[in-house]
Amino acid sequence: MFEEPYRWVEAIRNRRDYLEEQLSAGSPIVGLSFEKGILLATVGAGTPKLYEIYDRIAFGGIGHPADMEKLRNTMLDMAHIEGFNRSPIDVTVRRLMKFGLAPMIKQAFEEVLNAPYIVKIIMAEINSTSEKPLFFRLNYDGVVEERGKNLILAGSSDMTRRMENFLSTVGETASFSFKDALRVALRTWAVSEFATASEGEKTDPSSAPTADQLDPLLKKTIEGRLIEVALLDRTQPGSSKYRMATEGEIETSLKGWLKYGTP
Amino acid sequence: MEGRLRMHDGDFWSLLKEKGYQLGPASLPPGMESAVGRVSITEGTTIFSLKYKDGVLVAGDRRATAGTTVMYDRTDKVIDIDRYSVMAIAGVPATAFEIARVMEHTFKYYRRSQLQELSLEGKVRALSKLLKENIPMAIQGIGAVAPIYAAFDPQRKEGKIFFYDILGAEFEGVEFATSGSGSPAIRGVLHYQNRWSGRPLSELSEEEAVILTIRLLETASEFDAATGGVNREAHLYPLIKLVTSEGVRDIPQKKLESLYTSKVMVDSH
């Protein structure tokens, strides 16, 4: 069946279409820098999406929960063996991604007789030496992208672009407090809801919606859903800098904005 | 893709073994005789732990000896394992440090993989299992470790102390625990102090507990050559850690220096 190379290319094309379709409805994850380090936020879709991998490394994904779980476990194993055999400082996302995860994903993608991983992954790291945050995005076909200030993981490239457009109108978030950073992150997330809600209308993907347009939609959408926020907080004592934001912290940030009460 | 599925139970030790890790040789290679007695192996120590008012205090002297040679006088024998627990090591540092490292990684791996913290009972048992892995070396006299594991249980809001023999049996020290070559000298003192001083150890304040600790280690160094005492000129003091509801805290050296001159050496209580 695959003696003809053309058939393989066709199979890959079909595979891509299939995966794009599978991933398009995933709840996006917004990653950005704030004053204490890195904030990752998403609004709940059922299974938790944000996880700790190592002392300064966080992981998030869109896609099939079982595939995400397998990759999460692979990352955990690689990181901990490396941290034990060498040292925790030697465990970097760049190494884990480029030499560990990406080859594995690419291989699964192009071996058309086997199943691909139905996932898109975001990984974030605060570096102990340079203090500069790093974000990595890994696609189902094994392509790795590295970014410095923020990163959007969304189900489709169109959605990613829309959300990135909005985020760029906000500017630098590196000095923002938790409250302000969460506000930006949730609004950015809401761009995905806005785009879906206004699907019938002709909206120009390069023009970003405003906060006034997003806030009412956001308020309605988060009703009864879980807001998941993971932090890599360099001010946290101990070697592990990862923690989930508490319900209290999130509630306080929403008061006076999306919820009643004084912040 | 690999056909074998591993159940993800958060077990770091089995992952390490899968990758070929060994704590030490299970047995000496054929033709190699045991060199115990002819090779000086670094060991010797006094470590102890006691429950005081706010939690648990864990202390160790700083000396490591090999035969009559002082290998190192600034050894850190009390090691942070995680946010609420420490391990004090007695016996061979090579194996003990390795065990502490495995434990630290094991608890982190479990928490991240299983998304819940390993229970205190599980942690106590994890150390026991590692010591059991070490039995072949311990029996041959080349890697015996008899540690103390002390923790603060944040749920039950109490400190806990466990000590082990070289075969890995766990014992709970209800009020205190001691280990190492200098421990006989102070075990009796601790018991006497707890029982008949009028102030049980568990009622001591932080400062009282630290003063007692320095005096105990000075006493141990008096009677055990392998235990180091305070050396003021060299700014050498024991390593003392506290484990309380706020986590693990070191007593800074400056504090020990000032306590030494102002309270420890002064004859009163």
* DSSP class per residue in A147-180: ESSEEEE-SSHHHHHHHHHHHHHH---TT--HHH
Q: What pLDDT score was predicted for residue B266?
A: 79
Q: Which residue, among A70, A76, A123, A236, would best test binding to B if mutated, counting the most B CBs under 10 Å from its CB? A: A76
Instruction: Tell me: pLDDT of A203 over 70.
Output: no
Contacts (Cβ under 8 Å, ≥6 apart) of A66: none
Instruction: Tell me: pLDDT of A2 over 60.
Output: no
Q: Using 50, 70 and 90 to split pLDDT, how confident is the model at A130?
A: low
Residue A180 counted as domain residue: no
Instruction: Tell me: pLDDT of B160 over 90.
Output: yes
Residue A140 counted as domain residue: yes
What whole-number distance in Å separates Cα of residue B117 and Cα of residue B109?
A: 10
Instruction: Tell me: pLDDT of A199 over 90.
Output: no
**What average pLDDT does the structure give for chain B?**
88
Instruction: Tell me: pLDDT of B269 over 90.
Output: no
Q: What pLDDT score was predicted for residue A5?
A: 73
Interchain proximity B1–A51, CB inside 8 Å:
no
Q: What pLDDT score was predicted for residue B3?
A: 43
A22-31, A195-204, B24-33, B225-234, range with greatest mean pLDDT: A22-31
Here the CATH number for the domain that contains residue A66 is 3.60.20.10
Q: Using 50, 70 and 90 to split pLDDT, how confident is the model at B41?
A: low
Tell me if residue B45 is catalytic. yes
- Average pLDDT value for residue range B187-199: 94
| Chain B: closest CA distance from residue A54 (Å) | 8
Name the residue with higher pLDDT: A231 or A220.
A231
Residue whose token pair is 């002082």: B70
Q: What pLDDT score was predicted for residue A95?
A: 94
Cβ distance B108 to A83 under 8 Å? Answer: no
The beta-carbon neighbor of B1 closest among A76, A77, A114 is: A114
Residue B204 counted as domain residue: yes
Q: What percent of chain A has pLDDT over 90?
A: 70
Q: Which residue, among A70, A80, A110, would best test binding to B if mutated, counting the most B CBs under 10 Å from its CB? A: A80
Catalytic residue from among B42, B45, B213, B219: B45
Sort B232 into a burial class: Cβ within 10 Å, 0-12 / 13-18 / 19+. exposed
Here the CATH number for the domain that contains residue B140 is 3.60.20.10
Interchain proximity B15–A80, CB inside 8 Å:
yes
Q: Using 50, 70 and 90 to split pLDDT, how confident is the model at B247?
A: very high
Q: Which residue, among B108, B244, B246, B249, would best test binding to A if mutated, counting the most A CBs under 10 Å from its CB? A: B108
Rg, Å, chain B Cα set: 19
Query: What are the structure tokens assigned to B145, written together?
Result: 């470790």
- Average pLDDT value for residue range A87-103: 93
Q: Count of domains in chain B?
A: 1
Q: Using 50, 70 and 90 to split pLDDT, how confident is the model at B26?
A: low
Cβ distance B215 to B197 under 8 Å? Answer: no
Residue A175 counted as domain residue: no
Sort A107 into a burial class: Cβ within 10 Å, 0-12 / 13-18 / 19+. middle
Instruction: Tell me: pLDDT of B38 over 60.
Output: no
Q: Using 50, 70 and 90 to split pLDDT, how confident is the model at B138?
A: confident
Residue A200 counted as domain residue: no
Sort A58 into a burial class: Cβ within 10 Å, 0-12 / 13-18 / 19+. buried
The beta-carbon neighbor of B105 closest among A80, A108, A114 is: A80
Following DSSP, what letter does each residue of B37-87 receive, concatenated? TTB--EE---EEEEEETTEEEEEE---EEETTEEEES----EEEEETTEEE
Q: Using 50, 70 and 90 to split pLDDT, how confident is the model at A227?
A: very high
Name the residue with higher pLDDT: B257 or A238.
B257
Nearest CA in chain B to A111: B1
Contacts of A76 in chain B (CB under 8 A): 109, 112-113
Q: Using 50, 70 and 90 to split pLDDT, how confident is the model at A47?
A: confident
Residues 95-154 of chain B with CB under 8 A from chain A are 101-102, 105, 108-109, 112-113, 115
Instruction: Tell me: pLDDT of B5 over 60.
Output: no
- Cα–chain-centroid distance for residue A52? 13
Residue B14 counted as domain residue: no
Interchain proximity A76–B1, CB inside 8 Å:
no
Whole-model pTM: value is 0.88
Name the residue with higher pLDDT: A96 or A262.
A96
- Average pLDDT value for residue range A57-73: 95
Residue B81 counted as domain residue: yes
Structural domain of B171: 41-264
Q: What pLDDT score was predicted for residue B268?
A: 60
Instruction: Tell me: pLDDT of B27 over 80.
Output: no
**What average pLDDT does the structure give for chain A?**
90
Contacts of B15 in chain A (CB under 8 A): 77, 80-81
User: Is the minimum CB–CB distance between B4 and chain A shorter than 8 Å?
Assistant: no
Nearest CA in chain A to B5: A70
Residue B156 counted as domain residue: yes
* Range A168-175, long-range pairs (CB < 8 A, 24+ positions): A168/A208, A169/A208, A173/A32, A173/A33, A173/A34, A173/A149, A174/A33, A174/A34, A174/A35, A174/A149, A175/A34, A175/A35
Residues 59-78 of chain A with CB under 8 A from chain B are 73, 76-77
Residue A205 counted as domain residue: no
Which of A232, A238, A240, A242 lies closest to B248 in space, CA to CA?
A238
Q: Which residue, among A47, A55, A68, A77, would best test binding to B if mutated, counting the most B CBs under 10 Å from its CB? A: A77
| Chain B: closest CA distance from residue A97 (Å) | 18
Q: What pLDDT score was predicted for residue B1?
A: 41
Interchain proximity B12–A80, CB inside 8 Å:
yes
Name the residue with higher pLDDT: B31 or B125.
B125
Cβ distance B178 to B187 under 8 Å? Answer: yes
Residue B9 counted as domain residue: no
Q: To 5 degrees, how large is the angle CA B10–CA B113–CA B58?
A: 75
Query: What are the structure tokens assigned to B83, written together?
Result: 């946010």
Q: What pLDDT score was predicted for residue B2?
A: 47
Interchain proximity A81–B113, CB inside 8 Å:
no
Q: What percent of chain B has pLDDT over 90?
A: 59
**A85-99, A234-248, B127-141, B203-217: lowest mean pLDDT where?**
B127-141
Q: What pLDDT score was predicted for residue B168?
A: 87
Q: What pLDDT score was predicted for residue B66?
A: 80
Nearest CA in chain B to A75: B113
- Average pLDDT value for residue range A9-25: 93
Q: Using 50, 70 and 90 to split pLDDT, how confident is the model at B122?
A: very high
Instruction: Tell me: pLDDT of B135 over 70.
Output: yes
| Chain B: closest CA distance from residue A100 (Å) | 14
Contacts of A108 in chain B (CB under 8 A): 1
Contacts of A96 in chain B (CB under 8 A): none
User: Is the minimum CB–CB distance between A44 and chain B shorter than 8 Å?
Assistant: no
The beta-carbon neighbor of A73 closest among B19, B21, B113 is: B113
The ipTM (two decimal places) reads 0.89
Structural domain of A45: 5-156+227-251
Following DSSP, what letter does each residue of B96-147 receive, concatenated? HHHHHHHHHHHHHHHHHHHSSPPPHHHHHHHHHHHHHHTHHHHHTTSS-B--
Residue A204 counted as domain residue: no
What whole-number distance in Å separates Cα of residue B130 and Cα of residue B169?
A: 11
How many Cβ atoms sit within 10 Å of the Cβ of residue B205? 12
Residue A29 counted as domain residue: yes
Q: What pLDDT score was predicted for residue A46?
A: 77
